[in-house]
Amino acid sequence: MLNQFVDVTMSTLTPRQIKVWLTLFRDSKNGVAQTAQTYIASRTGLRRPTVSAVIAELEARGLVRTIHSGGLNRGISRYEIRAAAIL
């Protein structure tokens, strides 16, 4: 998945989109990442609202799909990640 991301997709993304996608990839198992946006923010150097906006951007491009939106009393968020947009 990482090879396809680097070879096909990465050149079309902004630096902050790359940071968030790579962090989700690092946290993924079988294509699904479980992590909090606050934790993504702390590791990428981005603010949490920025991480939220970037995830929405990646979703619009077909690179991320929110499986479960976590939060207080809702558990941790889960995201399906893709190396390239599904057409």
Strand segments, DSSP code E, in 1-87 are: 28-29, 32-34, 64-68, 78-81
| Burial environment of residue 20 by CB neighbours within 10 A (0 to 12, 13 to 18, 19 or more) | buried
CA-CA-CA-CA torsion sign (20, 46, 51, 69): positive
Residue 87 lies in a domain: no
pTM: predicted TM-score of the whole model, two decimal places: 0.90
CATH of the domain at 33: 1.10.10.10
Greatest CA span in the chain, whole angstroms? 39
Per DSSP, what are the bridge partners of residue 75?
Answer: 71
Residue 72 lies in a domain: yes
Residue 71 lies in a domain: yes
Number of separate domains in the chain: 1
Q: Could you list the residue range(s) of the whole structural domain that residue 8 is in?
A: 2-81
pLDDT tens per residue across span 8-41: 999 999 999 999 999 999 999 999 999 999 999 9
